[in-house]
A = this chain, B = another copy of it.
């Protein structure tokens, strides 16, 4: 068993439970004799490059548990892809601190970063265990049935739609809700869990997995309003036209170092779609809300299942590293069978890095404007029980 210090960091967009994974890893490491110092790097690889480390052996268990239950990334986060020069610099830092266990919590961009660092370490013959710990509200990691962070964000989205559907029911008109999800529609699809009564919204759901047509959209809205007198729409921020160009790309021109256009933190897409509905259908009361960062950071609504699993993936990553697996990404797999049951499997980093998992065809209806019962069955146990909405008779 390799003996040395451990370094852990967080990367990418925060989630409600990313700190569970951090603390899950730290507490597992504390129980091991192979691991000496346990350090956290501030703001992902930026903090490694600047040697901004904090000592994670020092804080008491109660404090760590309170950090675990707190949303967002307690160590700070970063959106940065290491250049070859960065990698050279990173190794110098790891070497000088005798880091033999490295854990990076994040999405597919973060898995890629972990993969690059691991590959460089192999080339340099530096003995280090490199593990990616999964986190993404987008639920778009390959090899995973679902990812930590998704269940809680999905719970927020479902609850938001439950309230918003009732708001729309009270005052009428058309309501458009723009939900996070650049390439994968899982989070937007979770809006369907809000439905409890036959006429409940969202009545239409548009995902990045299907080409978005303004014509079809306006026609769908009009048809729904004709049928039930109102319409609630859930739209993924990543919806794109038949050529694959994001609808939002018409308004935004900010790009990060991973080549992603800014989609969140703006209401432009929702306002554009509301304008389209007004113009093409003549309906006057059309409103749009963009849920924004609340979906990933709102405290107090995390899914119990998600909370538990997020803690576990941190724990499992450390166990795998100590067992001498070398490198990998902890994936959540679902057992076959009717009851919800999962297990963890360490998969090669390159299998999770960079690429995006999409909604399978079986989760999307033929018209491309809704989800199927198969998706509801898939997502429900991850999101957990939702509060029941009361309704007066004849109302």
Q: List residues of chain A with CB under 8 Å of any chain B CB.
A: 10, 13-14, 16, 19, 40, 42-43, 54-56, 58-59, 63-79, 159-160, 162-164, 166-167, 169-171, 175, 254, 264-268, 270-271, 274, 284, 286-294, 296-301, 387-395
CB distance from A45 to the nearest CB of B (A): 14
In angstroms, Cα B287 to Cα A264, docked, is: 8
Indicate whether A395 sits within 8 Å of B167 (C-beta atoms), given known contacts A265-B288, A266-B287, A267-B271: no
Give the contacting residue for A71; candidates B78, B163, B299, B395; CB below 8 A: B163
In angstroms, Cα B317 to Cα A343, docked, is: 56
Indicate whether A72 sits within 8 Å of B163 (C-beta atoms), given known contacts A77-B170, A267-B266, A274-B266: yes
Q: A66-B390, A76-B169 are in contact. List 9 more A-B contacts (CB 8 A).
A: A63-B392, A65-B390, A71-B167, A72-B170, A76-B171, A163-B299, A265-B287, A267-B290, A291-B294
6 contacts between A and B (CB under 8 A): A16-B163, A66-B390, A71-B166, A163-B298, A167-B293, A300-B387
Give the contacting residue for A167; candidates B14, B40, B69, B271; CB below 8 A: B14
CB distance from A251 to the nearest CB of B (A): 9
In angstroms, Cα B22 to Cα A391, docked, is: 13
Q: Cβ of A268: which chain B residues have Cβ within 8 Å of it? A: 267, 271
Q: Cβ of A301: which chain B residues have Cβ within 8 Å of it? A: 300-301
Q: Cβ of A390: which chain B residues have Cβ within 8 Å of it? A: 19, 63-70, 74
Instruction: Indicate if the CB atoms of B72 and A167 lie closer than 8 Å.
Output: yes
In angstroms, Cα B285 to Cα A13, docked, is: 14
Instruction: Indicate if the CB atoms of B171 and A392 lie closer than 8 Å.
Output: no
Q: Cβ of A264: which chain B residues have Cβ within 8 Å of it? A: 287
Instruction: Indicate if the CB atoms of B391 and A74 lie closer than 8 Å.
Output: yes
Closest 4 CB pairs of A and B: A267-B267, A265-B287, A66-B390, A163-B297
CB distance from A339 to the nearest CB of B (A): 26
Q: Cβ of A55: which chain B residues have Cβ within 8 Å of it? A: 393-394
Instruction: Indicate if the CB atoms of B395 and A54 lie closer than 8 Å.
Output: yes
Indicate whether A299 sits within 8 Å of B159 (C-beta atoms), given known contacts A75-B392, A164-B293, A166-B14: yes
Instruction: Indicate if the CB atoms of A56 and B392 lie closer than 8 Å.
Output: yes
Instruction: Indicate if the CB atoms of A289 and B299 lie closer than 8 Å.
Output: no
Instruction: Indicate if the CB atoms of B293 and A287 lie closer than 8 Å.
Output: yes
A78's closest neighbor in chain B, by CB? B171
Indicate whether A171 sits within 8 Å of B77 (C-beta atoms), given known contacts A166-B70, A395-B42: yes
Q: Cβ of A267: which chain B residues have Cβ within 8 Å of it? A: 266-268, 270-271, 288-290
Instruction: Indicate if the CB atoms of B164 and A294 lie closer than 8 Å.
Output: yes
Q: Cβ of A63: which chain B residues have Cβ within 8 Å of it? A: 390, 392-393
Give the contacting residue for A395; candidates B75, B274, B296, B300; CB below 8 A: B75
CB distance from A285 to the nearest CB of B (A): 9
Instruction: Indicate if the CB atoms of A265 and B289 lie closer than 8 Å.
Output: yes
In angstroms, Cα B13 to Cα A284, docked, is: 17
In angstroms, Cα B291 to Cα A231, docked, is: 20
